[in-house]
Amino acid sequence: MVYSSQIIEKAKEMLAQRRAKAQEENSRRTREFEKNNPEYTALKQEMIDSVREVVSAYGASKEDMQKILLSQRKRNEDAQRGVKELLKKNGLPENYLETQYTCPNCLDTGIDRDSNVCPCFTELLREVAFKEAGKKSPLKFSTFEDFRLDYYSDEKNPDFGCSPRERAQQLLELCKSYAEDFDTDSQNLLMIGETGLGKTHLSLAIAGEAIKKGYKVLYNSAQNIFNELQKEYFGRGESREQFETLVLECDLLILDDLGAEFSTQFTDAALYNIINTRINTSLPTVISTNLTLKELEERYSHRISSRLIGEYLQLRIFGNDVRQVRAEVD
């Protein structure tokens, strides 16, 4: 993926902060160790002096240089053994006085020993890109704990064979289980129901739990996602194909309020690409919509509606607008 300069700079800054923090922590540990073990000062100076002796001997004859190298190497190794014994005496690991970088491969520089971009920096770029994409979302995370069942009627609906409250309870438990067991092999979910029934709330509660587990989640309304894709496609975004790649490759995509977007050839093509690509790569998507299955079939092409109906677990919720009930209660 090609990242914008803004994403790259933020990732570099985070990497520099990691490195500085590791070095600062190493200095703190070393000072504390030296304070409690004064003999460490002399051992450390021995190692420094042994190196200086070798450097100052450059220009000597080959025979003399060999003798100096051997003697100073032994001097250095003796000092190192002394440090190891001190660490062992204090119950500390042998690498305690070494800087503990987040990534031992590149030492938090982003470039490995072979002068290649380190995988840790690539992952950091991806992480920053997802965080920046999430900032553009007007959706705020919800939790399962604040999902109020008492706003739903307990009057049985003959068409569904249960009350709105019973159905909401069923979906709440199902979504909790889905979030608890979530991984990139999880099912696709299609939440269907009229506006104000808690579909977005449950979707974002799932998203929040997945993010806590370390998964890369992208969440936004269908309209906003299509707008970003269109800006990128026509060259008005910061980096060509950056957002599209996030949408297609994120561990979990939350597509809210499908059907409320302004329908164009572009949005239909973009929707098909998102649905089809993520199905083919076995990456889960949670979609919420106010449309019925019949309305989905009427609004979208067969290749889109057939995938939504055939490849997604359908979660139907019904009842009165919870937002209105909440306003009356409050």
- Does the pLDDT at position 301 exceed 60? yes
pLDDT tens digits, 87-146? 999 999 999 999 999 999 999 999 988 888 899 998 888 888 777 766 666 667 788 998
- Confidence category of residue 86, pLDDT binned at 50, 70, 90: very high
Q: Specify whether 152 is located in the same domain as 43.
A: no
- For a pLDDT cut of 90, what percent of the chain falls above it? 58
Name the token pair of 274.
Answer: 């998102």
Q: Of 3-7, 26-30, 41-45, 208-212, where does mean pLDDT reach its minimum?
A: 3-7
Least confident residue range of 1-15, 195-209, 308-322: 1-15
C-alpha–C-alpha distance, residues 208 and 146, integer Å = 13
Residues 110 and 216 in one domain: no
Q: What is the pLDDT of residues 146-191, one digit of tens each?
A: 888 888 888 888 877 889 899 999 999 999 999 999 999 999 999 9
Tell me which of 155 and 297 has the higher pLDDT.
Answer: 297
- Say how many domains are in the chain: 2
Residue bearing the bigger pLDDT, 6 or 68: 68
Helices assigned H by DSSP within 112-264: 119-135, 164-180, 199-212, 222-233, 242-249
Residues 6 or more apart whose CB falls under 8 angstroms from that of 81 comprise none
Residues 77 and 212 occupy one common structural domain:
no
Which residue(s) pair with 117 in the sheet? 111
pLDDT of res. 5: 74
Same structural domain for residues 324 and 177?
Answer: yes
Gap between the Cα atoms of 289 and 292, Å rounded: 8
The reply to whether 153 and 234 lie within a common domain is: yes
The pLDDT score that the predictor gives to residue 1 is 55
In a domain, 131, yes or no: no
Residue 175 and residue 314 share a domain: yes
Q: CATH number of the domain at 169, please.
A: 3.40.50.300
C-alpha separations of 180 from 139, 173, 186, 218, 274 in Å: 21, 10, 11, 18, 25
pLDDT score recorded for residue 114: 85
User: Do the domain assignments include residue 130?
Assistant: no
190 φ/ψ angles, rounded to the nearest 5 degrees? -125, 105
Provide mean pLDDT across the span 42-56.
90
pLDDT of residue 136: 65
> In the numeric block, which tokens belong to residue 164?
């709105």
Q: Which residue has the higher pLDDT, 4 or 323?
A: 4
Out of 65, 98, 122, a domain closes at 122
Q: Indicate whether 113 and 201 sit together in one domain.
A: no
Distance CA 94, CA 83 (A): 9
- For the chain, how long is the longest CA-to-CA vector? 102
Residue 243's pLDDT is 85
Give the residue from 70, 90, 122 where a domain finishes: 122
Domain that holds residue 190: 136-329
Residues 187 and 111 both lie in one domain:
no
% pLDDT > 70, the chain: 91
CA–CA separation, 289 and 314 (whole Å):
11
Read off the pLDDT of each residue in 50-79 and give the average, rounded to a whole number: 87
Strands 217-221 and 312-316: unpaired
162 backbone dihedrals φ, ψ, rounded to 5°: -155, 170
pLDDT band (50, 70, 90) for residue 325: low
64 vs 40, residue with greater confidence: 40
Q: Which pTM value belongs to this model?
A: 0.69
Q: What is the mean pLDDT of the chain?
A: 88
